[in-house]
Structure 1
């Protein structure tokens, strides 16, 4: 299996720690086991040597005869009786034994002699210690026991190491997988896919990073959608005033005896209105506009009359702007309401017929602004506000923008009638 660098590093680190731990634990344990088996063998030999010394007659030196071996001796043990100087008197063993000679001092002694592990015990008589009993066993017996114990510990250590490697591999995958997911999600986000979703891994830090990346993707997607929408909205909203400005300048250039100064002043005024329109759209798109305050309805209607009277009159269509009294006080962003009314009047100029009427009135505590024309074409109140671009019947961007702005101000924009066409903007009055 091909491991990624992170998985490989985690696997090697965890498995390495497990291996070092096993070695540090197994080596001292092996030495302890070796010492334990050696001491156990010495203890058994001391017991057997003492038992042999206890049952050996003290006159054996004067009447040599076979050594009596008591019951209970371990198989493979060699028993010999030695006299002063460590010379073999009876039984089995080397002709001379240093450990047997040392036991003449009346104490137990142990030593390794000729590949054997030997213990000598004094045989006491009325005249003191005249003989010693030597019991030995091949040292290879103890070595075999130690070897078997080491092999068992080695097998256990290997099993533990294999389990540790398996667990390390699993843990490395568990730790690396969410980071690999984050990497793929970040790459997808960089390629423009803002629909990244965090997968729960059970690792708090990775899950937190995944949720943060998911939130960032959603936020970037909203920003991009808003910027795209803003581009379409700007194009739609600027088209009519920019066309009017260009037509005015072209007419002044082509008409003989035209007052160019007046045409330039008119173009300058229209350019300033365009600048204000762009600023309003930027503030609305980035949500950095002024805080909502009392709405100057009369001022908005006056600006609307000034901006649209000329273009509509040029097409032979009158404009009527009326305001009933008293009007409720409304807290709303003036740029948003101005854009909504411009969209509705522009829609009436483009797609409607006859007189255009704008009327503000009070309905309970709500401000209602009706924009009507004398068109009688059938309109679908459910689909007319859908954003469909600039194709089709032409109702696509402006009305969708107007409705979204109205909802952002806590109001509502609705088609109230289609014969004649009447759009109504409802804005709730200020509390208290």
Structure 2
């Protein structure tokens, strides 16, 4: 590209020099020739005037007297009637520029100048024009090289940026070149790089969230299947199978919600639902795991509470908190429900050591974990809570108390608003 830019610029300059240079040479040649002719005419008129004045005064007219009146390179002939021609200077050979003038006394004055003087002056003019043209060509080449580098280097950089984007490196370069068109392309590439980076981050986050959200239902389902394999009682098998089918439905709901959020994170499925059903479902799913660990999981608080949200998402949040207590906590895990203002609150607590002081509120940040776990469970739980307008907070570090706040609908008059413990 550099070579093409230099060649095209040089071609344009050469054409311009050729057109204007030839025209200038023609004009200058004519100007020099006309100027030489005018000089000879002026010399002849002046010499005729001198001869007229001497003849009128009856003075002698000789070559010696007129020699100082004629330029050294010129040759003059004065013809006076009745006298021999008077020659001043050396007779010229070859092409000459000649002018003849007649005086008032009848004399004729002819002045000649060699055309070689005009040729020399034209040659000097052509040399000057040639030097100017050469300087113009050199300047054009230097300018073309500079311009080619100014245009070619940015294009090379932009091509490298596009290649990096294609190879999966979406880092924007934020480099500009002072050329509006190229800077516009650089802006578009940087914007595309930022969008691709956000998309890749979202895809990685989706993969991490999906693996974590699917892990909990799969773990619960595997425990139910183990319960089935360990019993010979048909009624127990049937009961556990029904629970397993319910868990499969919840797993399907999780997958559908993940796919919906990946297409449009703003799409929500918030409805009014019964908190008792979700809590009892979680108690039934996690009791075998807690029983195997020699621990208990209980619930208490207000009954018949309704909340606005996605039941599957709320179940996922509670499952994350319950699993977190199973892995990191100790003693009995309690789920308590209460009302504050227009919000229903589900508190999850255990009798373990709680959250380390060095973690504090950072416990909800991704990759932050008190032990060797993924560190995204609580972060995903908070995202799920906030998706439907709720929130998840750590109310107390030691012993740990996590609160899930959900918007609730006004209680119907038929509902009981008391502190009776929920059925376990």
Instruction: Tell me the TM-score range normalised by the shorter chain.
Output: 0.7 to 0.9
Distance 1:426 1:267, change over 3 A: closer
Q: How far does residue 160 in structure 1 lie from its aligned partner after superposition?
A: 2.4
Offset at residue 32 of structure 1 (A) = 0.8
Summarize the Cα distance change of 1:310–1:148 in structure 2 as closer, same or farther, 3 Å threshold.
same
What residue in structure 2 maps to residue 401 of structure 1? 380
Alignment of 1:19 with 2:14, yes or no, is yes
Aligned residue among 193, 196, 219 for 2:172: 196
C-alpha displacement of 1:313: 4.8
Q: Give the equivalent residue in structure 2 for 1:36.
A: 31
Identify the residue that residue 50 of structure 2 maps to in structure 1. 55
* Worse overlay, 261-270 or 279-288: 261-270
1:101 alignment partner in structure 2: none
- In structure 2, the partner of 1:136 is 112
TM superposition score normalised by structure 1? 0.77
Q: What per-residue deviation string (whole Å, max 9, x for no partner) do you get for residues 150-204 of structure 1?
A: 1112212222222222222222222233322211222222222222222122222
Partner residue of 1:91?
Answer: 87
Residues 1:205 and 1:305: Cα distance change in structure 2 (over 3 Å): farther
Query: Cα distance, 1:28 vs. partner?
Result: 0.8
Displacement after TM superposition at 1:145 (Å): 0.9
**What whole-Å deviation, never above 9, does each CA across 1:84-113 have from its counterpart, x for those lacking one?**
9xxx93316899x9xxxxxxxxxxxxxxx8
Q: How far apart are 1:416 and its partner, in Å? A: 2.0
Question: Which residue of the other structure, out of 59, 65, 73, is the alignment partner of 1:76?
Answer: 73
337-346 or 133-142, which moves further after superposition?
337-346
Q: Could you say what secondary structure the match of 1:194 adopts?
A: coil
TM-score normalised by length of structure 2: 0.79
Whether 1:176 aligns to 2:156 is no
Alignment partner of 1:413: what SS? strand
1:311 aligns to 2:286 (yes or no): yes
2:213 counterpart of 1:237: yes
Measured in 2, the distance between the counterparts of 1:257 and 1:336 equals 34
2:329 pairs with one of 352, 359, 365: 352
CA–CA separation in structure 2 for the residues paired with 1:249 and 1:18? 86
Q: Is the 8 A contact 1:77 1:135 kept in 2?
A: yes
CA contact (8 A) 1:413 1:425 kept: yes
Aligned with residue 370 of structure 1, among 338, 347, 368: 347
Instruction: Measure, in 2, the Cα distance between the counterparts of 1:16 and 1:426.
Output: 77
Q: Secondary structure at the match of 1:76?
A: coil
* Alpha-carbon distance in structure 2 between the residues aligned to 1:322 and 1:10: 81
Equivalent-residue separation in structure 1 for 2:110 and 2:386 (angstroms) = 109
Alignment of 1:224-303 (within 5 A): 224-253=200-229, 255-256=231-232, 258=234, 265-291=242-268, 296=272, 298-299=273-274, 301-303=276-278
Contact 2:21–2:129 (CA<8 Å) still a contact in 1? yes
1:418 aligns with 2:397: yes
Q: Tell me the distance in 2 between the aligned counterparts of 1:72 and 1:264.
A: 137
> How far apart in 2 are the matches of 1:267 and 1:427?
28
Structure 2 counterpart of 1:10, from 5, 12, 22: 5
C-alpha distance 418-78 of structure 1, shift in aligned 2 (>3 A): same
Distance 1:390 1:278, change over 3 A: farther
What runs of 5+ residues in structure 2 fail to find an aligned partner? 410-424
The corresponding residue for 1:381 is 360
CA 1:269–1:165: 2 relative to 1, 3 Å: same
Residues 8, 258 of structure 1: CA spacing in aligned structure 2 closer, same or farther, 3 A cutoff? farther
SS in 1 for 2:363: coil
CA distance in 1, matches of 2:99, 2:408: 112
Unaligned stretches of 5+ residues in structure 1: 98-112
Cα gap change, 1:135 to 1:190, in 2 (>3 Å): same
Aligned mate of 1:339, from 303, 316, 322: 316
Residues 258-285 of structure 1 show CA distances to partners (whole Å, capped at 9, x for unaligned) of: 4666665544332221111111123334
